[in-house]
Amino acid sequence: MAVNLQQADASSVLEARRIHNQKLARQHDQTRATWFPLTVLGVLLALPLLQLTGNYNYLLHLVLFTASYAVMASGWNIIGGFAGYISLGHAVFFAIGGYFSGVLLARYGISSLLTAPLAGLAAAACGYIVGLITLKVRGPSFIISSIALLMIARILFDHWEFIGGANGLSLPVTDLPVQTAKLPYYYAFVLMAAFTVWATYRIKHSKFGLGLRALSKDEVKAESAGINTRFYKVLAFALSAFFVGMAGAVWGEYLTYLRPNIFLIILVSANLVLMCILGGKGTIAGPVVGAILIVAFNEIFVATLGASEINILATGFVMVLGLMFFPNGVIGTLARKGKLPRVLNWD
Amino acid sequence: MTDILQILILGLALGGVIALMGSGLSLVFGVMRIVNLAHPSLIICGAYVSYWAFKLWGLDPIATLPIAALIMAAIGVLLYRLMFESQAKSARYSEMTVLLTFALAMIVEGFLGAAFTNTQRVTSPEYATDAFFIGSLFIPKGQLYAGCVSLAIIGALTLFLNYSRLGYAIRATTQNREAAELLGVNVNLISMIAFAIGIGLAGAAGSLVSFVFSFFPAKQWEWIAMLMSVVVLGGMGSVLGTVVAALLLSVIAAFVGTWVGATWSTMTFFLALFVILLIRPQGLFGEKPELA
Amino acid sequence: MSDLLQVTNITAGYGDGPAILDGARLTVEPGKVHCIIGPNGAGKSTLLKAICGMLTIRKGDVIFKGERLNGLRPDQILRKGICFVPQERALFPKMTVRENLRMGGYVLNDAKLRDRRIDEILERFPVLRERADQHAGTMSGGQQQTLAMARTLIVKPDIVMLDEPSLGLAPKIVQEMFDIMKMMSQEGVTVLLVEQNAMMGLKNSDWGVVLDLGRTLFEGPAEAVLADPRIQELYLGGRKVA
């Protein structure tokens, strides 16, 4: 009646266990194809030379636009992907950055290209303070608080006369010739994107990044392991605000006007989240891939569907499909199946 | 003195409507642990149903309330089957579902905007602009009717939850989903029914909202923060909590609106949300704070 | 000796993750207490969850009284006669003991029958009778476990499955829990339990099952399992003294 142990003795069971555990562990190729992102960067830096042959302003605009999104999405990734706190209110930091540099430009004529890091710091400071409050709660409550933050900011900005209130501020346009007018912003954003990707890579591979990953999985356990979770997540929040603010600063000048109903709308936040979801939350290449996808979708939708309301519909639709069928995004899903091309493994 | 009484009554009436708006949100969270960010957009959907019924056929919005509720409940069943049923066993459930409802909110807004444009709408039955004059009190009829209907519906909901077998199953699932399932409750079916009821409540609220507030597709973002503060203050999952919080915050907002300024009236809700999340995240009647 | 429940070589896992169970096997005889032991991660809880319908079975069969249970929902399997008490005990903390018991009879259509059975349970378990109107969340671990186990009896199931009933309980209380299980088996209820405390679990059971690496390595009378030197070395912490 009794079924005997399939192995003759205890040691073969222990051996079988060891083999079994080894099979469950994942193997990773630790080398990185660094030449790829560097090559891409090189190509992007050289791209404006095309201007010498013809009018590629629209192309430059697209790359610039994608780069700015890549900066913001990568920044958001620090709190949303690494730490696992989904913020739907990051448009606030976008606005803080934009207005900070914009006001300096309007009043003192200092270009945002110089003040962007400062704007980023201003946004980070706000992020730090806000984070101290809102990061006390987790999960859905945090998400809700981020939306409330956005609503509060919108009302405040709409009523603050010093920065133009609901009508906003007009910013001076540069007087560069058409051929080179976009170039300063182009380079600003491309370099910012490179910097942000590099910075998020370093963060992910630091003790700080490890701590964030731990607290994203189980905050209580991370805390009892000695990680100062409160400090870590508030810092992550502030860092994410920094990058988004910096991008906002230059974007404001590029756009030449600041208005609450452009900077402080839910669609801005939604796009950041969507980029990371489509690309792969928590990965380094994910936000960049997501940015490219979103800009591509945007272009397609605007070209075929036009009006802004259908744009929102389409964005929502893409998001639903992405969430339901590719919850780990392009990079994440490929990585899980072991099919991620080496050139895209930037982690 | 009459000023205060007047503001109080107005606050309570609006509070009733807001309570109805939030009740569906609270119910769905309780049963499915989903924060439905699309809830206000679905309220607006219901509002459009009553609005067009009035505009095209002259039907009174309170009369078309049951129709709006049923239509939205049916849509709720559809949404549940399409989007949320499959999520039940997913790893990062709360995160995923919040993002899904967020995307849904955008889809609904886009759809409504494309179909009906972004013009501000308001249904205007006779009583919407009429008022009762009692002594020196001026009580707008529309708000009063809406408040009463809301509280009646919530009353019916409470009776249903507390005294019917289905309501019993819903409450058990809210308290401990796994336990309910292991004791014989078909939690998937219960979730679907609760979701349908929640969205139906949104539809009903929409009919009332259509003449109490003006609405347009993008207004949902203003309402989501407002409803969230009510539901969080009251305690997620507690319909009673939602009612108490709605009445409380609406009265406060009404006073703030009159004495400080109209814009700050809405701010009351947002600030309340922040404060509550800080000092007592589980709200008045809720359970322990959300863990990620 | 016909088998009440037959689990034949099942493969199961969580979501689309790796297979935790791979070749798990079990034979359950009526009226006996069966104890499943094994190291952490062996798949013991997973096995119970697969049987009661909480997990999808990828390969293999679960056959109960001649009927295949694969793919049924937990509430459907409950109606067939298998109760499951998970590690977290699945109580309603905001409901009283009486209300919890009432919920235990959810699938009974006859309210009078249910109330009669509740009264019987309260008679048999003084610990619960004394606290009939106390909120379940305020009771001690042992009291909660008693309530969880007693609650299963309302529907008079054929099999009661318990996942680590001794978890978090003081040794003296643990023995009380095992005594309840013995009582249940004497009344004809078949008990299937997963126990981390292998020694105590086997001592109080009739039949022992050893699960490791997702497979059933050993099945036999509990005493035989306890006495086997290989089992002792692997799972019981070394050679048994005397």
C209-240 pLDDT, tens digit per residue, is: 998 888 888 888 999 888 888 888 777 776 55
Strand bridging mode B137-140 / C82-85: unpaired
pLDDT reported for residue C78: 94
Task: Of A25-39, B45-59, C186-200, give the lowest mean pLDDT range.
Answer: A25-39
The pLDDT tens digits of the residues spanning C137-182 come to: 899 988 999 999 999 999 999 999 999 998 888 888 899 999 999 9
B83 contacts chain A (CB < 8 A): yes
pLDDT reported for residue B292: 32
The domain ranges of chain B are 2-218
Question: What domain count does chain A have?
Answer: 1
Beta carbons within 8 Å of B45's beta carbon, 6+ residues apart: B72, B75, B108, B112, B202, B203, B206
CA nearest C218: which of B182, A269, B143, A6? Answer: A6
CB B228 within 8 A of CB A137: no
CB A203 within 8 A of CB A209: yes
Residue A189: other Cβ atoms inside 10 A: 26
Q: Which domain holds residue A241?
A: 54-265
Length of chain B: 292
Assign B290 a pLDDT band (cuts: 50, 70, 90): very low
Q: How far is A319 from chain B (nearest CA, A)?
A: 6
Q: How far is B237 from chain A (nearest CA, A)?
A: 13
Give the residue carrying structure tokens 């009580």: B139
CB A96 within 8 A of CB A119: yes
Q: CA of B183: which chain C residue's CA is closest?
A: C104
Taking residues B106-113, report their average pLDDT: 91
Assign A333 a pLDDT band (cuts: 50, 70, 90): confident
Q: How far is C162 from chain B (nearest CA, A)?
A: 12
Assign B135 a pLDDT band (cuts: 50, 70, 90): confident
Assign C79 a pLDDT band (cuts: 50, 70, 90): very high
Is the ipTM reported for this complex over the cut 0.95? Answer: no
CB B237 within 8 A of CB B287: yes
Please give the residue that has the higher pLDDT: either B246 or B259: B246
Give the containing element (helix H, strand E) for B139.
Answer: strand B137-140
Q: How far is C229 from chain A (nearest CA, A)?
A: 9
Q: Does A250 score more than 50 pLDDT? A: yes
Q: Does any domain span residue A140?
A: yes
Q: How far is B193 from chain A (nearest CA, A)?
A: 22
Helical ranges in B58-186 per DSSP H = 61-79, 93-116, 141-163, 165-175, 177-182
Strand bridging mode C33-37 / C190-194: parallel
Q: How far is A152 from chain B (nearest CA, A)?
A: 7
CB-CB neighbors (< 8 A) of A81 in chain B: none
Q: Does C36 score more than 70 pLDDT? A: yes
The pLDDT tens digits of the residues spanning A176-199 come to: 887 788 888 999 999 999 999 999
Residue A35: exposure state from Cβ atoms within 10 A (0-12, 13-18, ≥19): exposed
The pLDDT tens digits of the residues spanning B37-57 come to: 999 999 999 999 999 999 999
Q: Does A324 score more than 90 pLDDT? A: no
Nearest CB partner across the interface for A144, out of B106, B232, B289: B232
Computed over every residue of chain A, the mean pLDDT equals: 87
CB-CB neighbors (< 8 A) of C217 in chain A: 5-7, 13
CA nearest A117: which of A43, A199, A42? Answer: A199
The CA distance from C203 to C205, in Å, is: 6
CB-CB neighbors (< 8 A) of B118 in chain A: 309
First to last CA, chain B: 48
Assign A4 a pLDDT band (cuts: 50, 70, 90): low
Q: Does B148 score more than 60 pLDDT? A: yes
The CA distance from B265 to B257, in Å, is: 4
CB C36 within 8 A of CB C21: no
pLDDT reported for residue B97: 87
Give Cα C116 to chain centroid, integer Å.
Answer: 25
The CA distance from A188 to C71, in Å, is: 58
pLDDT reported for residue A6: 53
Taking residues B237-266, report their average pLDDT: 89
The CA distance from A280 to B179, in Å, is: 35
Q: CA of C93: which chain B residue's CA is closest?
A: B175
Note whether C106 contacts B169, CB cutoff 8 Å: yes
Q: CA of A21: which chain C residue's CA is closest?
A: C213
Q: Does B197 score more than 50 pLDDT? A: yes
Assign A201 a pLDDT band (cuts: 50, 70, 90): very high
CA nearest B155: which of B44, B284, B249, B16? Answer: B16
Taking residues B198-217, report their average pLDDT: 93
DSSP string covering A40-75: HHHHHHHGGGGGGTS--HHHHHHHHHHHHHHHHHHH
Nearest CB partner across the interface for A310, out of B110, B277, B291: B110
pLDDT reported for residue A27: 66
Nearest CB partner across the interface for C230, out of A1, A2, A5: A5
Q: CA of B177: which chain C residue's CA is closest?
A: C90
The CA distance from A274 to A284, in Å, is: 15
Give Cα A75 to chain centroid, integer Å.
Answer: 4
Please give the residue that has the higher pLDDT: either A73 or C237: A73
Q: Does B146 score more than 60 pLDDT? A: yes
CB-CB neighbors (< 8 A) of A147 in chain B: 37, 221, 224-225, 228
Q: Which residues of A touch C (CB under 8 A)?
A: 1-7, 9-10, 13-14, 16-17, 20, 24
Strand bridging mode C82-85 / C159-163: parallel
pLDDT reported for residue A176: 80
The pLDDT tens digits of the residues spanning C106-118 come to: 999 888 999 999 9
Which residue of B163, B173, B183 to mutate against C (max C Cβ within 10 Å)?
Answer: B183
Assign A1 a pLDDT band (cuts: 50, 70, 90): very low
Q: Does A294 score more than 70 pLDDT? A: yes
CB A201 within 8 A of CB A285: no
Give Cα C127 to chain centroid, integer Å.
Answer: 21
pLDDT reported for residue A5: 55
Q: Does any domain span residue A346?
A: no
Which residue of C76, C88, C92, C99 to mutate against B (max B Cβ within 10 Å)?
Answer: C92
Computed over every residue of chain B, the mean pLDDT equals: 88
Note whether A310 contacts B103, CB cutoff 8 Å: no
Beta carbons within 8 Å of A321's beta carbon, 6+ residues apart: none
Give the containing element (helix H, strand E) for B229.
Answer: helix B220-234
Q: Of chain B residues 203-262, which have a CB less than 8 A from chain A?
A: 217, 221-222, 224-225, 228-229, 232
Assign C242 a pLDDT band (cuts: 50, 70, 90): very low
CA nearest C153: which of C202, C204, C188, C192? Answer: C188
**Residue A173 phi, psi (nearest 5):** -90, 145
Q: What angle do CA C134, B26, A229 make, to 5 degrees?
A: 85
**Residue A270 phi, psi (nearest 5):** -60, -40
Subunits adjacent to chain A (3 or more Cβ pairs under 8 Å): B, C
B103 contacts chain A (CB < 8 A): yes
Percent of the residues in chain A that have a pLDDT greater than 90, as a whole number: 41
Task: Of A8-17, B244-253, C124-133, give the lowest mean pLDDT range.
Answer: A8-17
